[in-house]
Structure 1
Amino acid sequence: MIIKNVTVIDGTGSAPRPGMDVTIADGCFTDIRPTAAETAAAPGGHADDQVIDGRGHYLALGLWESHTHLTGHAMALPEAERVPHVRQQLADYLKAGITSVCDLGGSAAYGRMVREAGQPGTAARLFYAGPCFTGPKGWPLQVHGDRTMALETGSAEDARRAVQNLVGQVDFVKCIFDGKDGQRLPPAALEVIVAEAHTAGKKVLAHVATGTDVRDAVHAGVDAIEHAFVPQDPADLSEAEQAAALMAEAGTLFCPTVVTWEQLGHSGDRAHLDRLVADGIITAEEAAEVAARPSYGKPFPHHPADESRIRFEYAMRTLPLFHDAGVKLVAGSDIALVMPTPASALLRELQLFAQAGLPGLEIIAAATGRAAEKVGKHDAVGTVTVGAAADAVLLDADPLKDISHLIDPQHHRAIISAGRLAQR
């Protein structure tokens, strides 16, 4: 496959490159060079390759959902339905232009089964953490109680044994480092998990609740912070400034999951659904379906609505601050509580990034190359560069001028997964 005369947005945060010919073979990008006048095959291609005219179009890396929970939620289904259910969700992600999905807490065995059940190019790629580390009786065991989803860890030695057993089964490691209720994973255990995972070449992500959690997790050496934190004083931006300076200096990535706090803070609020309709994320029919769900408007365990609204509003105010400080932001949605599909939640996250004032190139990097970097897959999957896996979206309008050109399927001329044109 050759895409001719297209503008390449490579996912690294670099400026777009117009007038490029992109050759794809054997599931990878094999050549990217300035457009030639003739349509002969570029080096690495063949004379009978499919040629796509990319004039006036933009080739961006396929989007990444860098924080969700597919296998964990599937455990509530009958056993025979679990793998097909997750595979269907991954296929739905791909139809939305999301070519890679990171599962941040669930069964490692089911993650492996889901991955082995699919054919390349038919669904989004799955990367998974398996069970997350948590403190004694910590979140999420307080609510779910499912031992396939979490590893209860009370000491550094417990952590060492558990992480050594886990790292060979998963793509990266997730830790619940939530300081609420006095049941946080011990800092010494987190340090051991980070050291052992890094020795095995695996990244470590830390779920946090407070600014103190952020500080301690960064000092422990984690690779990414998951979730915007609860500020001590919502009117005071200095706590965010301090966190941003610390994370920028350490090179710690930040996945704020702003859409999580928007949903949890506004569940039951029909005006919020109306805003989603007005913003083009859901339709009026989908809003009615969401409002009819038995769970709609009910309190969510561990995250009160008023606290979630504070997290949402503080995150929206401080995202530009983190960006200006040099913190690498990453896009992830976590939940789809008031969304018709999980994919919708990620698209809303990108929209919220834009509403917070982040520039388009930053948003695209956060939803592509940065997400791959977060889980240690940047070289293999995370860029439109020679040798990387060919996952991409061909757009008919410039996503840097308007983020809707990236998230609205009407602007998707083609979706490419593992070097193949995906069925839409």
Structure 2
Amino acid sequence: MIIRNVTVINGQGFAPITDAEVEVTDGRFSAIRPAADAPAEAGVTSVLDARGGYLVPGLWESHTHLGGLAYSKPENERAKYISQLLTDFLSAGVTSVVDLGGPLELELAAREYRAKATDAAARLFFAGPVFTGVKGWPILNDPARAPIAYQTDNADVAHRQALELADRVDFIKCIYDGEPGAPDKLPLDALKAIIAAAHEKGKKVLVHVHERIDLEEAVASGADGIEHAFQPRDPGSTAEARDIAALLAETNTAYCPTLVTWEQIAHNGEAAYLRQLVDDGYATLDDIPRITSRPVYGREFPRHSPQDSHIRFDYAMRTLALMHDAGVKITAGSDVALLMPAPPVALLRELYLLAKAGLPLPAVLAAGTRYAAEKIGQEATTPGTITVGAPADALLLDADPYADIAHLVDRSHHIGTLRAGRPSWNESHPRA
């Protein structure tokens, strides 16, 4: 297949290639070249006219929890439900979804279900159960949530469990959140043992943190990625952010702030916030009754108060640009969709917030594509880029995403997607 009449933005920070031709063979990009350099056609089965559009790498949701969403469904419907969510993600331009913690058997079942499905959907990467302290977050005192985590206070046991788990998952996730020495916090020696075991197996480790000390200890222990913007000791000073930026850049540790998580928790129950989502194009008036009828609406989120979430959100919005300037690899992940119409919308909102926080638009695209792939160790085949040999996952837009973030996150600008070279076009789009 050949895609013609397109501007290619390859996701690696190079200048766009205008009036380009992109060739796809066996689900991978096999050639990207100016149209003037195109050879005579030979054996081409199909040609797609992009009509002057912009081809960017398919988006990545690098932090979500599909298994948690599926647990509201009957057991025999959960794998199918996750499959449908992956289809929904693809329709939003998201070609890869990274699940950061859930029941292992359910995630394996969802992958098996997708292997037999014939419809197009985003690909799934997952961590399986997370590691946490005894009755730590997210278990707390709810035994029904036990399948989503290994609760441990023993480094030797944790090391053995991590070695076994690493053979069945794409990466490993740890929760390092709580008061030092408290039984509900994963012990530091256990965190180090888990990271060592995962690295023995060639798997990355992502660590959920709360405060600066959690982040610093996780990085010192060898964490490959930090999940969630940390809560500063002094919200009025950027000094902590500058120190953390230097640490993350020096160690090449990915940073996923999940801005939209803190935004939603901070404003849960506020009608004005829902109106803002409507005004910004992330919800409709018809969505509001469905959102306000959810059991979580207006209820304080466990572990994270609205006040603390305001602090984390506001501080991250003020400091992410300086972290980017320091060389930190920022990735885009939404975590929860408490007040969003659907999980894919939360990821689009996250990209918008990254731009609003001052990240240059090429950095926003990198956060939602190649850096997300690198974070979980998938960079060997250069996914999240439009380069020769990379999986042919892409999003076709009708306007330049480097000119306005709306051109990337407003779905009215989405002409269609490629997933492993398989095209899916928005038939109602004028350029489709």
| Contact 1:384 1:390 (C-alpha < 8 Å) held by counterparts | yes
Alignment size in residue pairs? 420
Counterpart in the other structure of 1:209: 210
Aligned: 1:21 with 2:21: yes
- Which of 119, 123, 129 aligns to 2:121? It is 123
- Which of 99, 109, 112 aligns to 2:108? It is 112
Cα distance per residue 1:390-410 (max 9 Å; x no partner) = 110111100011111111121
Counterpart in the other structure of 2:94: 98
Aligned-pair CA distance for 1:251? 0.5
Q: TM-score scaled by structure 1?
A: 0.95
- Distance (Å, rounded) in 1 between the aligned partners of 2:192 and 2:401: 40
Question: Aligned-pair RMSD on alpha carbons?
Answer: 1.6
Aligned-pair CA distance for 1:117? 1.1
Counterpart in the other structure of 1:311: 312
- Distance (Å, rounded) in 2 between the aligned partners of 1:70 and 1:365: 23
| Contact 1:251 1:327 (C-alpha < 8 Å) held by counterparts | yes
Aligned-pair CA distance for 1:176? 0.3
Q: TM-score scaled by structure 2?
A: 0.94
Cα distance per residue 1:291-321 (max 9 Å; x no partner) = 2333211111111111111111111011111
Counterpart in the other structure of 1:270: 271
Cα distance per residue 1:22-80 (max 9 Å; x no partner) = 11121111111221376843xxxx53422122352111011000000001332342111
When residues 107 and 294 of structure 1 are mapped into structure 2, their CA distance, relative to the original with a 3 A threshold, is closer
- Distance (Å, rounded) in 1 between the aligned partners of 2:251 and 2:414: 37
Aligned-pair CA distance for 1:17? 2.3
| Contact 1:121 1:418 (C-alpha < 8 Å) held by counterparts | no
Higher mean Cα deviation, 76-85 or 159-168? 76-85
Counterpart in the other structure of 1:404: 406
| Contact 1:265 1:308 (C-alpha < 8 Å) held by counterparts | yes
Aligned-pair CA distance for 1:277? 1.0
Higher mean Cα deviation, 189-198 or 353-362? 189-198
When residues 18 and 180 of structure 1 are mapped into structure 2, their CA distance, relative to the original with a 3 A threshold, is farther
- Distance (Å, rounded) in 1 between the aligned partners of 2:103 and 2:10: 33
Counterpart in the other structure of 1:164: 163
Aligned-pair CA distance for 1:289? 2.3
Aligned: 1:84 with 2:74: no
| Contact 1:111 1:128 (C-alpha < 8 Å) held by counterparts | yes
How do residues 278-293 of structure 1 correspond to structure 2 at under 5 angstroms? 278-293=279-294
Amino acid at match of 1:305: P
Instruction: List gaps (5 residues or longer) in structure 1.
Output: none
Counterpart in the other structure of 1:68: 64
| Contact 1:28 1:418 (C-alpha < 8 Å) held by counterparts | yes
- Distance (Å, rounded) in 2 between the aligned partners of 1:94 and 1:15: 26
Counterpart in the other structure of 1:296: 297
Cα distance per residue 1:124-177 (max 9 Å; x no partner) = 100000000111221111054322210112122011111011000000000001
- Distance (Å, rounded) in 2 between the aligned partners of 1:153 and 1:37: 59
| Contact 1:101 1:125 (C-alpha < 8 Å) held by counterparts | yes
- Distance (Å, rounded) in 2 between the aligned partners of 1:172 and 1:321: 29
Aligned-pair CA distance for 1:328? 0.3
| Contact 1:350 1:363 (C-alpha < 8 Å) held by counterparts | yes
Aligned residues: percent identity?
Answer: 52
Higher mean Cα deviation, 264-273 or 378-387? 378-387
